[in-house]
Chains A and B, each alone.
Chain A
């Protein structure tokens, strides 16, 4: 795992990262728009393949995916009719997987939602979450833990016990 370097065929990189990238994007922008963001993410990765960080390709591609999700939210915000002040653009809930839970994730503040999606939907380690969010590992942990704390308050409290 995580062994693809820019000398390797791009197809290998695509095969290795396609599922976590799609999982992450679904959590960020919902299943319908995730597909467009997926295409844009890998197109950008292909164009910039020679800049791939060989030490951490998963974090590298997730940084791109995160930026595509942010672009998507901004574009959506520009298109939206400002009925009232929109403090933040919400990701649509994901229908296929645990809809209640992912609707609650979509309600989290941006950084927490992104950190939770990277940690769980994309299955990154904290070090990689930090790299993908261009922040410190400490901040990544804090965002995940704060996100989890809010989720525990909001969803199925009986699920709290392992």
Chain B
């Protein structure tokens, strides 16, 4: 197409402050959409000593936690596919979850007092394993075999490991407290270094 003349350039000029005004309007929209439930999922990011974590919630409770090893975009993409694409960033809606996570990561909180939305957890044995895990106290560790036993099947330690590996609520459902029988921390969705860091934070693991 031909070049724009002066009038067209005047019309196309982006007004001063439009981007900021649009960002503000979008934030207001997102909070309202989350509060009304028009958006099925609200998310926010949380700064931690080991990087940026993400947290997502529905009106029922916390749906998923994204560890710093997972980029926020990946976390959201996963939720969009597995749960709903109607996701907005609404830190106001997630005030309490953000505060508790912040306190945990800075060593000022040992237990979470948050409603959880378990809909990303398959039923059956997976759910039993994660339920048993959610009752593990701060600073305590158990083996994969032990958590399998608590979930009702002592021989299913491999299946327990798979269930823990799929935990959509790490930290809040503390799967990092399940370790190998020899005392080695073992695998972790957020990487073995993070698992070690969390256990050290809880005084459960001596370097």
Contact = CB atoms under 8 A, between A and B. Distances in A.
Interface in A37-69: 38-39, 42-43, 46-47, 49
B80 A9 contact: yes
Contact of A116 (B3, B5, B11): B11
B13 interface: yes
B85 interface: yes
A9 B76 contact: yes
B15 to A, nearest CB: 4
Contacts of B17: 96
Interface string A1-39: 000001111111011001101110010000000010011
Nearest to A40: B29
Interface in A100-126: 101, 105, 116, 119-121, 123
A162 B5 CA distance: 5
Interface in B53-111: 76-77, 79-81, 85-89
B187 interface: no
A84 interface: no
- Interface residues of chain B: helix, strand, loop or mixed (majority): helix
17 contacts: A9-B80, A18-B22, A19-B18, A19-B19, A35-B25, A42-B29, A43-B33, A46-B33, A94-B15, A97-B13, A105-B11, A120-B11, A155-B7, A159-B10, A160-B5, A162-B4, A162-B6
Given A10-B87, A11-B87, A23 B18 contact: yes
B12 A11 contact: no
The 6 closest A-B pairs by CB, nearest first: A97-B15, A120-B11, A9-B87, A19-B22, A18-B22, A9-B76
Contacts of A12: 76
Given A9-B76, A18-B25, A120 B88 contact: no
B7 A148 contact: yes
B135 interface: no
A8 B21 CA distance: 24
Given A26-B15, A46-B88, 11 more contacts: A9-B76, A10-B88, A11-B30, A11-B43, A12-B76, A22-B18, A22-B21, A43-B38, A49-B86, A120-B11, A160-B7
Interface residues of B, number: 39
- Interface residues of chain A: helix, strand, loop or mixed (majority): helix
B40 to A, nearest CB: 9
Given A7-B80, A46-B38, A151 B7 contact: yes
Which residue, A14, A47, A120, A151, has most C-beta atoms of chain B within 10 A?
Answer: A14
Contact of B77 (A8, A23, A151): A8
A72 interface: no
Given A120-B8, A159-B7, A7 B81 contact: yes
Interface residues on chain A, size class: 35 or more
A112 to B, nearest CB: 12
Interface in B14-43: 14-19, 21-23, 25-26, 28-30, 32-33, 38-39, 43
Contacts of A116: 11
A30 to B, nearest CB: 12
A123 B4 CA distance: 13
B49 to A, nearest CB: 26
A158 B85 CA distance: 50
B166 to A, nearest CB: 21
